[in-house]
Amino acid sequence: MTALDAFTPKVTELRFPSGFRWGTATAAYQIEGAASEDGRTPSIWDTFSRTPGKVHHGDTGDIAADHYHRMPEDVALMRRLGVTDYRFSVAWPRVQPTGRGPAVQKGLDFYRRLVDELLKAGIRPVATLYHWDLPQELENTGGWPQRETAQRFAEYATIMAEALGDRVATWTTLNEPWCAAFLGYGNGVHAPGRTSNLGSLRAAHHLNLAHGWAAQALRAALPDTAEVSLTLNLHALRPLTPSAEDLDAVRRIDAVANRIFLDPVFRGRLPDDLIRDTAGITDWSFVQGGDLTATSTPIDSLGINYYAPTVVAAGETESPSPWAGAEHHVRFLPAPGPRTAMDWPVDAGGLYELLTRLRDELPHIPLLVTENGAAYHDYADPSGHVHDPERIAYLHSHLTAVHQAIQDGVDVRGYFLWSLLDNFEWAYGYSKRFGIVHVDFATQRRTLKDSAAWYEQTIARNAVKKR
């Protein structure tokens, strides 16, 4: 220590800007349950989870965390944590069971009650219109590879805007269209489980179109108030080596995973290299005149979901592949470092890389981290406590990365922890626990994990400790 250090006040906390939005995030199919109540019809996830071999253990979202019946209790938990915002999704087949025609009042009423309860608790509602639960009837008529699905989505957006109006602070059109298009229609590990490169590219375009038309519908219904947003799971890509081949592998994945959404939404065009790379699959003639104007309807913020980085090298990946047009040129390698229960590496640097990239490429769009968190093998000990120090360390390092990005000029307005509750983790069923609140699925008992107490303190201080 120098003499000067002794007089310099030590910075012990990394403080976030005032007004920073602290939230938690969930999705309808993962928590609600009540799958056939009050007029709800099956979504593609109900069908998929009933298809043998698709979901771990044959788990379904029939009951999930029973949030449909326990919503006030769950909002009370969030109030206790002090969150300022709550990101939830609306189950399309609950409010418009066939994906067409008039809404079901009972379905709408659930979301009205949720929004009322949140506002009473002083929590801003952040609603996602599509978190993967397409009404099965719309899949039966072709799903996302069909243009008509995008039209149906815009009508559904109008129904929701009219029902919940300006009481919702932020409307997110889609959650992670990459997963919906490429896991749903490309390698088939998500619902509806189809495997077609052409289908996945058509789905990606129609999801972009659905986003643009829904953004227009929200603006038309809510001219002054709506903050309109989109959430992408942008891939933080790293080449294995700086060789030209590995850098080209990064370029290909960047085109089919990141720029396939960023360019239509923010630049009104498709990437030239994507069109070249996919020439053997399609000539993109399903993109009609005016589509790319619609997809680039201005929005107010961009949501980023981040869990782990992706290391790529030249090579060949498995088939069926979610990387249409890149599968014969790219392989994926495990990133080094400690792992979560998903076997995903813990590496907050990827989040910093994504945020600073967006600062450089899209400097005028405010950002929200709409998902970030980790699964671990949590259990309640004999005294009923759930100790999850690895999750606290994960959250700490990622919030430190967000703080550093803000210091470096990135306009990050908020952070939504995934997830409030343990839930149905898609193809992994109930085998992965992402919650800061433990759910005993046999009794539906909720127990705050240590990470929940940690998050509560973080929010109260508007800061994380400097390590």
Q: Which residues of the chain form contacts with ligand FCB (CB under 6 A)? A: 27, 30, 175-176, 179, 233, 305, 371, 418, 425-426, 434
Amino acid at 353: E
The 8-class DSSP code of residue 287 comes to S
The closest alpha carbon to 419, from 449, 393, 386, belongs to 449
- CA dihedral over 400, 406, 411, 414, signed as positive or negative: positive
Q: How many CA atoms lie within 13 A of 99 on its CB side?
A: 22
Alpha-carbon span 234 to 302, nearest angstrom: 11
For residues 426 and 430, which CB has a smaller minimum distance to ligand FCB in the complex? 426
Give the nearest distance from C-beta 42 to ligand FCB in angstroms. 19
For residues 20 and 182, which CB has a smaller minimum distance to ligand FCB in the complex? 182
For residues 66 and 176, which CB has a smaller minimum distance to ligand FCB in the complex? 176
Amino acid at 84: T
List CB contacts of 80: < 8 A, sequence separation 6 or more: 456
Q: Which two tokens stand for residue 72?
A: 């006030």
How far separated are the first and last CA of the chain, in Å rounded?
A: 18
Give the nearest distance from C-beta 179 to ligand FCB in angstroms. 6
Per annotation, catalytic residue among 139, 371, 390, 425: 371
For residues 182 and 454, which CB has a smaller minimum distance to ligand FCB in the complex? 182
Whether 73 is a known active-site residue: answer no
Give the nearest distance from C-beta 366 to ligand FCB in angstroms. 20
Give the nearest distance from C-beta 166 to ligand FCB in angstroms. 26
Alpha-carbon span 268 to 259, nearest angstrom: 11
Alpha-carbon span 104 to 93, nearest angstrom: 9
Pairing of strands 124-130, 227-232: unpaired
**Residue 359 CA, distance from chain mean position:** 20
Whether 148 is a known active-site residue: answer no
Per annotation, catalytic residue among 176, 327, 353, 425: 176
Give the nearest distance from C-beta 190 to ligand FCB in angstroms. 9
Alpha-carbon span 325 to 257, nearest angstrom: 11
Give the nearest distance from C-beta 295 to ligand FCB in angstroms. 21
Alpha-carbon span 90 to 126, nearest angstrom: 10
For residues 178 and 454, which CB has a smaller minimum distance to ligand FCB in the complex? 178
The 8-class DSSP code of residue 189 comes to S
For residues 208 and 372, which CB has a smaller minimum distance to ligand FCB in the complex? 372
- Catalytic residues, which ones? 176, 371
